[in-house]
Amino acid sequence: MTQQVPLSEEARADEGAGPDGTHEIAPDLAYLRTLIANVVFSGPPGAGDRGWVLVDAGVFGTKRQIKAAAEARFGAGARPSAIVLTHGHFDHVGVLEDLAQEWDVPVYAHELELPYLNGTAAYPPGDPSVGGGLIASLSSLLPTRPVDVSARLRILPADGSVPPMPGWRWVHTPGHAPGQVSLWRETDRALIAGDAFVTTKQESVYAAAVQSPEMHGPPRYFTIDWAKSRASVETLAALRPSLVVTGHGRAMKGPEMTAALETLARTFDRVALPEQGRYLDHPATVENGLAYRTP
């Protein structure tokens, strides 16, 4: 079964990491690779204290890396005005509690992700039966427990705005997680996709390390509702983004990327669905009560 839509190196959105360790993909947008996941910095270089926003919070043990890159990009001691989360999986909130407390910042997320962020519910377990590589094989051992930043949590407004990020809007893109969102800026057609789709085969340690440019569906081992995931990819493809940074893999741009995303949406069942998996026929949803487990 085909598992990706190929992309060429010409579709990469950057030439590599700069002196601060980040990959700049727009004058006010850069991302940082933290082991197996990306975090995104929104704001112009030199923006100073409270002049920028962090999107997602990496994996455990990356606090120093994120802070060093932030200070190199925005200035010594520069803190964000907020942390915005695409969703709350362990590789997106690894140092959220520490950074939110040290920086004294609000944390914005979709209301359906709040149980994973206020300590009241855990995610459904990972699904090693989807196959694809070592990360998938070990996924039943990956953390699903919640973090607790309840005192700082803010619900993203129902009108689609992102208060700390003027010009951006959030788009609900569930499937990989109940309250996953992607962030969209119409002016330059930039998309921060979270894990709604990714640009590497995240199930494989080798592929995640090499990061050959490819368009993939969401990481299979944590995706709990494939029908909603398909609809989310279709929603994002319909936006026709010109620039995309995902939670895993390299940022991509241009007509080739746009066409690859449209192909992924059109052929989702053939390209993205695993041949087997516990959530294929029995999705874990908010509606059926299976999305939230006791921690």
Give tens-digit pLDDT for 31-48.
999 989 999 999 999 999
User: Domain locations in the chain?
Assistant: 5-271
Domain 5-271 has CATH 3.60.15.10: yes
What rounded mean pLDDT belongs to the chain?
A: 96
**pLDDT value at position 208?**
75
pLDDT, position 176: 98
**12-52-109 Cα angle (round to 5):** 85
Confidence of residue 213 (pLDDT cuts 50, 70, 90): confident
Distances (CA, A) of 204 to 113, 141, 211: 26, 15, 10
Instruction: Give the whole-angstrom CA distance, residue 264 versus residue 258.
Output: 10
User: Is the pLDDT reported for residue 181 higher than 60?
Assistant: yes
| pLDDT bucket at 210, cuts 50 / 70 / 90 | confident
Count of Cβ atoms closer than 10 Å to residue 143 Cβ = 16
* Mean pLDDT across 53-73: 97
Q: How confident is the model at residue 222 (pLDDT cuts 50, 70, 90)?
A: very high
Q: What integer is the mean pLDDT of 77-101?
A: 98
Terminal Cα distance for the chain, rounded: 36
Residue 2 is predicted with a pLDDT of 54
Q: How many helices (H) and strands (E) does the chain have?
A: 8, 14
Contact 171, 184 (CB under 8 A): yes
